[in-house]
Amino acid sequence: MKKLLLAGLALALGGCSYFLPQQSQVLHYQCGTTPLTVALNGEDSTANLLLDGQQLTLKQQLAASGAKYGDGKYTFWSKGQSAFVERDDKVIMSDCTLVN
């Protein structure tokens, strides 16, 4: 009975982290010869990046795998150490590799 109670408590506490705000994180990618810096904000589930001379704020979107952020025009999608960026559903930056 004691083991079952401890297992249930561990599962309950582990699930709480999903609902707690996460901290901000700055990620640096190298996309071919172009550097890309992405600031993730866990509190409002956004990714901020400078692209095409504009400061973009992309909202987190549902993804089957990895992390996906978009605004209807731009999409930033990362999985593990790699990422890519789309504009109007066409890849404009590929082969992005995490460097930090």
14 lies in some domain: no
pLDDT along the chain (100 residues), means of 10: 42 43 85 95 95 93 93 96 96 92
Supply the pLDDT for residue 90: 96
Supply the pLDDT for residue 35: 95
15 lies in some domain: no
What is the tally of structural domains in the chain?
1
- Domain of 85: which CATH number? 2.40.128.200
72 lies in some domain: yes
86 lies in some domain: yes
Supply the pLDDT for residue 49: 96
CA distances in angstroms from 39 to 2, 34, 47, 58, 97, listed in the order given: 44, 17, 6, 10, 15
Question: Which residue range is the domain that position 49 belongs to?
Answer: 21-98
7 lies in some domain: no
Model-level pTM?
Answer: 0.74
5 lies in some domain: no
How many helices and strands (H and E) does the chain possess?
1, 8
